[in-house]
Amino acid sequence: MNKDIFAGNWKQFKGKAQQFWGKLTDDEIEQVHGQIEELAGLLQKRYGYRKDEAEREIDRFLAEQED
């Protein structure tokens, strides 16, 4: 999935993202506003991922949304 499409459809993805990354709070999910970099930073903070790990997790999430 294109990251621009992700940003444009963030409202539709918020609930799925909350389920996918259960450690993120509703407020954190709301702050993301579809920005991949913001989401990556939150994943690094909450899950202790390195930047490349967070990006892979986001890519995995996006791939699942295409199915």
DSSP 38-52: HHHHHHHHHH---HH
Please enumerate in sequence order all residues whose Cβ is within 8 A of that of 51, keeping only pairs 6 or more positions apart, or say none: 40, 44
Copy the structure tokens of residue 21.
């990354």
Residue 34, pLDDT score: 85
Mean pLDDT, range 16-24, rounded to an integer: 93
CATH number of 3-8+15-66: 1.10.1470.10
Residue 67, pLDDT score: 66
Asked whether the predicted pLDDT for residue 27 surpasses 80, the reply is: yes
Asked whether the predicted pLDDT for residue 1 surpasses 70, the reply is: no
The pLDDT tens digits of the residues spanning 37-57 come to 999 999 999 999 999 999 999
Residue 60, pLDDT score: 93
C-alpha span between 10 and 24 (Å, rounded): 15
Instruction: Name the residue ranges covered by the structural domains of the chain.
Output: 3-8+15-66
Burial class from Cβ neighbours inside 10 Å (0-12, 13-18, 19+) for residue 65 reads: middle
